[in-house]
């Protein structure tokens, strides 16, 4: 049941976002300054892992968790080469224990909702979100990026990149600019979906730093899966994303 709720939390925005338009220009809207402490700190999250492999398919080699972990490490290397400091929510080996997250939340007066925690073997979307929020109180975060692979087995023709953020994020105009710029680097038809609070992915809803969830492709689509399988394609995707992240936060 708990697992079911977790899956539903992840799926709900996807199911509902089909009716949300994306890609609108928000030029002219004022964006608050990102921390001007001279550091560029990017937090990266490889979606899933541990007791939750995420999606997979007959076409994709490995699970979503394995693919996103490899891509997060590539993205990290690219960002570091561009001068950023990178923090990972987890390294694939271990994730922060509930006690550790509770401690840091208590220190910073953040409410930790134990009723939203799934189970000990899963680093839930809620725990990731609240963990990054707590980290942001210790180190100003310039951007949070969560990487995923999508899947829609009932219609294997679905093949697109998707970029999701919470429309109420104080940096939503910056996020829109990032998404439009990254879409141009990819295919110019990436789905860009600002979502309302109810429907936004939980990891993108917390904090006053820009947060974006990137669906890197559909495992259920054969040609998308072939790209996801390709180290050269992963390298190219992560290089382009790193460059656009740095442009967006500078």
| Minimum CB distance to Zn ion smaller for 112 or for 218 | 218
Q: For 240, what's the count of Cα atoms within 13 Å in the CB-facing half-sphere?
A: 17
CA–CA separation, 194 vs 168, rounded Å?
A: 9
Give strand pairing partners of 191.
162
* Choices 102-110, 143-151, 152-160, 169-177; region in contact with Zn ion by CB under 5 A: 143-151
x/- contact string, 144-163, with Zn ion (CB under 5 A)?
Answer: ----x---------------
* Residues in 58-87 at the binding interface with Zn ion, rule: CB under 5 A: none
x/- contact string, 172-211, with Zn ion (CB under 5 A)?
Answer: ----------------------------------------
Q: What are phi and psi of 76, to 5 degrees?
A: -60, -50
Q: From the CB of residue 222, how many other CB atoms can be counted at a distance below 10 Å?
A: 15
Q: What are phi and psi of 49, to 5 degrees?
A: 110, 165
As measured in angstroms, the least distance from the Cβ of 55 to Zn ion is 6
83 Cβ contact list (under 8 Å, min separation 6): 40, 246
As measured in angstroms, the least distance from the Cβ of 10 to Zn ion is 6
For 89-176, strand residue ranges (E) read: 143-150, 162-166
By rule CB under 5 A, what count of residues binds Zn ion?
Answer: 3
Which of residues 47, 49, 96, 217 is near Zn ion by CB under 5 A?
Answer: 47
As measured in angstroms, the least distance from the Cβ of 71 to Zn ion is 12
Q: List the structure tokens of 24.
A: 């609108």
For Zn ion, the nearest residue by Cβ is 148
Note the residues at the interface with Zn ion (CB under 5 A). 47, 54, 148
């Amino acid at each position: 049941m708990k697992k079911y709720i977790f899956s539903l939390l992840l799926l709900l925005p996807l199911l509902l976002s089909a009716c949300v338009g994306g890609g609108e220009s928000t030029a002219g809207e004022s964006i608050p300054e990102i921390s001007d402490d001279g550091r560029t700190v990017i937090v990266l999250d490889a979606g899933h892992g541990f007791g939750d492999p995420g999606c997979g398919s007959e076409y994709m080699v490995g699970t979503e968790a394995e693919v996103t972990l490899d891509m997060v490490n590539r993205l990290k290397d690219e960002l570091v080469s561009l001068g950023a400091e990178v923090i990972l929510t987890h390294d694939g080996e271990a994730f922060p224990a509930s006690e550790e997250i509770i401690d840091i939340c208590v220190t910073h007066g953040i409410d930790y909702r134990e009723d939203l925690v799934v189970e000990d073997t899963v680093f839930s979307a809620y725990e990731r979100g609240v963990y990054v929020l707590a980290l942001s109180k210790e180190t100003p975060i310039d951007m949070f990026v969560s990487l995923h692979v999508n899947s829609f087995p009932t219609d294997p023709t679905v093949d697109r990149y998707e970029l999701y953020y919470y429309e109420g994020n104080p940096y939503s105009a910056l996020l829109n600019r990032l998404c439009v710029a990254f879409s141009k680097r990819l295919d110019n038809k990436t789905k860009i979906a600002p979502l309302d609070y109810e429907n936004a992915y939980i990891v993108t809803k917390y904090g006053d730093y820009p947060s974006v969830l990137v669906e890197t492709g559909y495992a259920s689509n054969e040609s998308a899966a072939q790209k996801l399988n390709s180290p050269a394609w992963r390298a190219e995707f992560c290089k382009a994303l790193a460059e656009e992240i740095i442009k967006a936060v500078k």
